[in-house]
Amino acid sequence: MPADYHTHTPLCHHAEGEPEAYIDAALAAGLSEYGVSDHAPAVPEPFDDWRMSEADLPDYWKWIERARSHAAGRLPVRAGLECDWLDGCGEWIADLAGRYPWDYLIGSVHYLDDWDFDNPKWLGRWADSDVDQVWKHYWKTYEQMAASGLFNILGHPDLVKKFSYRPQGDLARYYEASISAIAQSGSAIELNTAGWHKPCAEAYPEFRFLELAASAGIPLVISSDAHAPHEVARDFGKAIELAKSAGFRETLLFDQRQSRSETL
């Protein structure tokens, strides 16, 4: 199985399980590598209630070391962070990047201004929003994140569809500028299987985005976004077939922020 690099820890306050259980699940799934990438701190603190604080980072590093100790050479365990792309965040991301020998950084868009739009707590706000304008805002923000060049992997590209609020018509019109920016950045995108278990009932990103990304030569990783050990590598067989159908033949492996390819 490909590597699973998008996984979480209880330090983000909405995940569960000990590192040993995650490693056991990764071994049982036959993953080539396992990566830990919890929600990175954001400033100013307290920022929200679903991420690590800056003070949690030493405990996070200990969590990664526990995972590596339990893996005991049976499975490479990579260290990452899932970082939110926020207005003016560049210096903070660069600061975080220098604090530990990370193997990769994931960039994600969860916020549009002050709205963490994928948070069920604020679901009612969708009903009062112009969906077309929200999508335009989201994809412009995603394009800016890609163009920053700060990230090895760009997370769940069309997360904006999570609650199934979608504009009418061909959605490719929203993707094109972001596809171009991602291709120029050299970052990989992830095929995130968690979407199959959300209201949208569809992997992130949708098939058309995957086709466009494959045609543009954008690299791919497959991720579970696991928040519990039983979610590690969830639906990977299904995801591999989807990726192949879209035109992908390889995924990437990361080590000290350098990548190499692995055949699907």
> Residues 229-245: what's their mean pLDDT?
98
Alpha-carbon distance of 178 to 205, in angstroms, equals 13
**Best CA proximity match to 54, nearest among 16, 105, 104, 92:** 92
- Which residues does 193 contact at the CB level (< 8 Å), separation at least 6? 203, 222, 223, 224, 225, 234, 235, 236, 238, 239
What average pLDDT does the chain have?
98
pLDDT in tens, 201-224: 999 999 999 999 999 999 999 999
**pTM given for the model:** 0.98
pLDDT in tens, 134-166: 999 999 999 999 999 999 999 999 999 999 999
State in words which class domain 10-263 has.
alpha beta
pLDDT of residue 159: 98
> Residues 98-107: what's their mean pLDDT?
98
Q: Scanning the structure block, which residue is given the tokens 């791919």? A: 220
Alpha-carbon distance of 68 to 262, in angstroms, equals 22
> Residues 177-190: what's their mean pLDDT?
98
- Which residues does 261 contact at the CB level (< 8 Å), separation at least 6? 219, 250, 251, 252, 253
pLDDT of residue 193: 99
Looking at the chain, the whole-number percentage of residues with pLDDT higher than 90 is 100
pLDDT of residue 132: 98
The alpha carbon of residue 69 and the mean position of all alpha carbons in its chain are separated, in whole angstroms, by 25
pLDDT in tens, 110-124: 999 999 999 999 999
**Best CA proximity match to 54, nearest among 42, 66, 65, 36:** 42
pLDDT of residue 237: 98
pLDDT of residue 177: 97
- Which residues does 91 contact at the CB level (< 8 Å), separation at least 6? none
Alpha-carbon distance of 39 to 127, in angstroms, equals 27
> Residues 219-243: what's their mean pLDDT?
98
pLDDT of residue 217: 98
Alpha-carbon distance of 191 to 224, in angstroms, equals 8
